[in-house]
Structure 1
Amino acid sequence: MSTVRTDLRAEITSLLDRHQQLAVSGNAMQGFNKYYPPDYDPEKHSSLNAYRGKHALGDRARKIGEGILIVRFELPFNIWCGTCNNHIGMGVRYNAEKKKVGNYYSTPIYSFRCKCHLCSGWFEIQTDPKNTRYVVVSGARQKEEDWDPEENGGFAVHETDPNQGPVDPLAALEKSTDAQNHMNNVQVPRIEALQNLADHYSSDPYTHSLRVRRRFREQKKIEKAREEADESIKSVYGLPEALALSAEDDETRAKAKQEWEEGRQVLEERESAKRRKLGAEVVSVMPRASSSRSSARSGQSSRPSSSSGSKTSDPVSALRAKILGNTAKQSISIGGISRSKPPDPKSARALVRRI
């Protein structure tokens, strides 16, 4: 029993000594929730990563000896891959090889080398501290989508042209004055108008809601009455249900009146053409009827030619007067939009024979 107690006391003492050594070496916090092998020596091994021969960043530092660190890189703009010529959108992320390639004064310049996910081709993008932007170095082409602040009421922020002359104080003052005038004359009134509109609609939402719902009910009643009137018209005239009727207003009335006038003019032209055709047929019939009548009377009667000619001419003139009177009556009835038919040429011939 005493032997067991002695071994336990010795083990506790060794653990305390080891804990004290870890505290002295500055690695006391690393001892929690971590496994330290028996051969781990805090004086010889600065950390567990050094003991295992691994980097703290793991597989991301597999090329740390070449000065390359694997990072997650997001494309800052749209590009076209130079190998497969496919478009790659802004915001696509890659596991890029980050490497320092130079300095701009005291600011380092980093290079990000990425592999295209469409063709496995490599492209490289570098930082440009001079112009505060990214540039494509090789393997791809950038899509030009630069925003020009001068077109939006401002002035250029990055003016790093080495050949540029000294800044003109009057020109700078003019730019600042134009920007101030644009803000006072355009931006401020617009913001105030939007603020007033927002205050107007948000001041009493219950009243606005009542007004909107009342207007909606009135419009709904009007639409319902219009639909009922359209359905009644369709049922009376036998129109198809899918036919869309136009709303009755001044514009549609004027259009309908114009179409009615055009139809009336076309109808009058057609009726006048019929009358002219009928007159030509009557004129062609009258000489034949008069000649046959005169020949028949000359063979039966021995009266003087002058008296027979006067008697023959009387029926022809009477027929002509009667036809012209009927034509005048038809023209008057057509002017009043009548549907009466023109006289039949056959009836005109029969009338001539009777006379």
Structure 2
Amino acid sequence: MAKRLLGIILCVFMFTMALTGCTSVADSTVIPLLLKYSSDGQVSYVKALWSPERGTIKTSSTPILSYSDSLDVIAVHWQGVDKAVIFTRNAVPDTQELQTNGVKINMVSLASSLPYYYEPRVVYTTDEAVFSAAGDYGAKNTLKIFQFTASETKEFDVEGLYVLSTGVVDDTVYALVVESSNQGFVSEPQSNITYWLSLVTIDNTGTVKQQLVVNSEMDAQHQMYLGEAGYVPTSFIHDSFYFEAPCYGAFYRVQVTATTPVLKSMTTIQDDLNKVLSTTCTVNQSYSIEGCRFYVPAKVYGYGNYLAIIVEDSFYHAIAAFNDKQQLAGFIVRDPLKGEKTNFITFDASATKLNTFELTSPVQVIIP
């Protein structure tokens, strides 16, 4: 009887899987991309599924989300490609202005917490809050970190020149801050000034602690946190801050949960990223990395066990995926065509060309 019951259960299971499909190991190697478009007062997002190893890209035929500029969106916090939180200034968000296709949207109004005159420099979002940072112009070497939710604004004072990014783990807020031996902001580096990074920790009681990041001290001539490209775009993924310093050909990580925060160079990723950029230069008919690249740092995203790095500037566009062993899994080079089209050319880890896909040129590529 038990064997017969087990057989029935297995049959039902197999039949159900045949109907619904199952998630195989291969499916976990697919990275979703969101192609953002903006025209005629309308913002839209098209979903694309990219397999770095196979070099395939499959795009949806219609946008998964569209909305009007009149919605006054502050930020969109994506939770995968199936769910997103839209933060808006509007007191009563009008969901009728949204067009969705297979994505669940939660609208959050910041009208009661975000001053109408303040344009936040958004450095991080969660499903409940928008984090912003600004200088305190009434005090030298002082910064403010703001946390805006639907019901309140929290404000925290920290020391430093610039907040690179913030992040949240459980109930603790972290920030990576550039500090300087000079008391006050200077736009041009001075030879007698030292720069370093500090890790700010803000617990759920609002207590602020600030700690030096080991190995981050640099003199003005060699500092890489401020410069021609402005501040270094920094991402918070899982439990770490990541950023690239293209002037020095270096890729860095600061783990916030470590007992002592340390600036660590990720040389393997940087070496492979140089391979990606070299291929990009070739596709775009330039002769070297230096010949085709401004000092625009990469933007880092996390998806599952992948780190995905996107570089977008006037010269070229590249998207690279690294697995949990920090190995290059594959990459995309965007080759603009005449008109509104762009070739998305896929390559494997050895820089062998796999496929070419002609798509309408997006204004931005996002990994949710």
Report the TM-score range of the alignment, normalised by the length of the smaller protein. under 0.3
| Larger Rg, first or second structure (1 or 2) | 1
Greater share of helix: 1
Relative contact order, CA 8 A, sep 6+: which one is greater? 2
Q: Normalising by the residue count of structure 2, what TM-score does the alignment of the two structures yield?
A: 0.19
